[in-house]
Amino acid sequence: KFAEAVEWLNLALIAAGDDAPQRSRVLFLLGQAYEELGKPAEAVTALEEAHQLTPNDQDLLVQLINALTIADRNDEAEALISSADLPAKEGAVLHFNLAVGLIPPKKFVDAERHLLKALELSPGMAEAYRLLGEVSLGLNKRTEAIKAFEAYLAASPTASDASDIRKVIDAVKGRR
């Protein structure tokens, strides 16, 4: 169905003409459809054009940063985050999202940097502590992993995975 959506959205793009807000909205949806089709380069192209039309649309900015991350254009995603005039909490979410995208290709050093920035901007972001613990383990930084997991439990003591995280902490402490 996404292939059909792309065809329809391309027609809607023509119909939007010079109406910048409408054109941006259609490009935003087109970018999402391309992402669903596994076409990150096309998604980025559509989202970049939309961002040029409506640079203050924060939902669009998040989508573009995520698309850049999926397309392995992390430097551009990072530059966009840095240049955006966003409240701290929203900047933290963008850094967190970028870190999440860096984990599957095992770019743990970069993921760690973005998680630390997310936590600098929003110190109560429990899930960032959890992910930082996982990334620290991937970097073989056991002490940092324990600290991050403990901070996660302090920030979210009733988390559904709290018991599992305690087991991870115990296992890591046993191997130090």
**pLDDT tens sequence across 6-41:** 999 999 999 999 999 999 999 999 999 999 999 999
Gap between the Cα atoms of 152 and 41, Å rounded: 35
Give 39's DSSP letter.
Answer: -
Gap between the Cα atoms of 167 and 118, Å rounded: 26
The reported pLDDT for the residue numbered 141 is 97
The reported pLDDT for the residue numbered 94 is 85
Spatial contact of 132 and 108, defined as CB atoms under 8 Å apart: no
pLDDT along the chain (176 residues), means of 10: 94 95 97 95 97 91 86 87 83 88 87 95 96 97 97 96 96 79
Gap between the Cα atoms of 127 and 151, Å rounded: 10
The reported pLDDT for the residue numbered 72 is 83
